[in-house]
């Protein structure tokens, strides 16, 4: 079964808008939460990541918000650009190395 | 500094044939991970290898699938007697040590079984 639930499956946003992707998990053994960006025909690339002792992390236009008590985390893409159009995966790590991925969100940014 | 190299990029096999997927980790990386991505799904962990050792193969189907990472050369994911359900993108990632903070993935091999 999916250990990390991701929503929405897809979203469309206008250029300059905010894209928000949500993920939820049950396994409290997860200790690291990365987000990956994947373009068609390419492998996933690490975008930004957070540890559960931090509630928010920001890198440029990308922000992760983390709610440990609710076991939820989200990715916000501010000032979305057409080049941000891609599939985004949240993930969670156990055993130092094993990642469980969400099903992915396809983001389309309209110019 | 080349990234994780996977080949072939695309592989077509008839049902019952064997598929061999190769992965060369980044320079200096001795830990290799294989993941499978089915259409419209996220990646699923298959196996974790270090040089000459399989550390965790809990995500590998028990039959027809095997993986190796020899002392010399790339890591190989081998699928025997392929079936249509094996059609997927197979991604390899590498890291310099076991406790990693984000793998580096290759571009994947897209396997199509006809």
Residue B65 CB coordination number (10 Å): 19
- Residue pair A102/A88 in contact (Cβ under 8 Å)? The answer is no
pLDDT digits (tens, 9 = 90+) for A49-60: 999 999 999 999
pLDDT at B99: 73
pLDDT at B41: 82
- Whether pLDDT at B1 is above 60: no
- Whether pLDDT at B8 is above 60: yes
**pLDDT band at residue A4, thresholds of 50, 70 and 90?**
very high
| Token pair belonging to B50 | 């270090």
- Residue pair A41/B107 in contact (Cβ under 8 Å)? The answer is yes
Cα–Cα nearest to A51, from B104, B99, B46: B99
Question: Is the CB of A34 less than 8 angstroms away from the CB of B4?
Answer: no
Region A7-17: mean pLDDT is 97
Question: Is the CB of B48 less than 8 angstroms away from the CB of A98?
Answer: yes
Which residues sit opposite A29 in a β-bridge?
none
pLDDT digits (tens, 9 = 90+) for B24-82: 999 989 999 999 998 878 899 999 999 999 999 999 999 999 999 999 999 999 999 99
- Whether pLDDT at A24 is above 70: yes
pLDDT at B104: 86
Question: Is the CB of A103 less than 8 angstroms away from the CB of B41?
Answer: yes
- Whether pLDDT at B17 is above 60: yes
Q: Calculate the dihedral angle through the C-alpha atoms of A22, A45, B35, A103, rounding to the nearest 10 degrees.
A: 20
pLDDT digits (tens, 9 = 90+) for A58-92: 999 999 999 999 999 999 999 999 999 999 999 99
What span, in angstroms and rounded, lies between the C-alpha atoms of A50 and B13?
40
CA distances from A47 to A60, A88, A89, B110 (A): 11, 9, 10, 23
Does B104 reach chain A within 8 Å, measured CB to CB? yes
Question: Is the CB of A43 less than 8 angstroms away from the CB of B41?
Answer: no
| Token pair belonging to B45 | 């962990």
Nearest CA in chain A to B41: A103
B32: Cα separation from own chain's centroid: 8
Region A15-44: mean pLDDT is 94
Q: How do beta strands B75-79 and B88-95 pair?
A: unpaired
Instruction: Out of B95, B99, B105, name the one closest to residue A44 (CB).
Output: B105
- Whether pLDDT at A94 is above 90: no
pLDDT at B101: 76
């Amino acid at each position: 079964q999916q250990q990390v639930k991701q929503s929405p499956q897809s979203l469309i946003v206008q250029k300059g808008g905010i894209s928000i992707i949500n993920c939820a998990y049950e396994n409290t053994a997860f200790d690291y939460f990365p987000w990956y960006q994947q373009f068609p025909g390419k492998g996933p690339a690490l975008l930004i990541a957070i540890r559960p002792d931090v509630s928010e992390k920001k890198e440029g236009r990308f922000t992760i918000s983390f709610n440990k008590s609710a076991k939820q985390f989200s990715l916000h893409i501010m000032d979305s650009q057409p080049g941000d159009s891609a599939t985004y995966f949240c993930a969670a790590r156990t055993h130092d190395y094993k990642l469980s991925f969400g099903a992915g969100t396809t983001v389309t940014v309209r110019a | 500094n080349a990234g994780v190299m996977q080949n072939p990029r695309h592989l077509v096999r008839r049902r019952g044939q064997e598929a061999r997927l190769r992965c060369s980790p980044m320079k200096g990386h001795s830990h290799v991970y294989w993941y499978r991505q089915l259409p419209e799904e996220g990646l699923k962990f298959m196996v974790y290898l270090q040089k000459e050792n399989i550390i965790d193969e809990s995500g590998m189907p028990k039959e027809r699938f095997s993986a190796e990472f020899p002392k010399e050369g790339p890591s190989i994911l081998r699928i025997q007697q392929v079936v249509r359900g094996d059609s997927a993108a197979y991604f390899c990632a590498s890291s310099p040590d076991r406790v990693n903070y984000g793998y580096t993935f290759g571009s994947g091999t897209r396997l199509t079984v006809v």
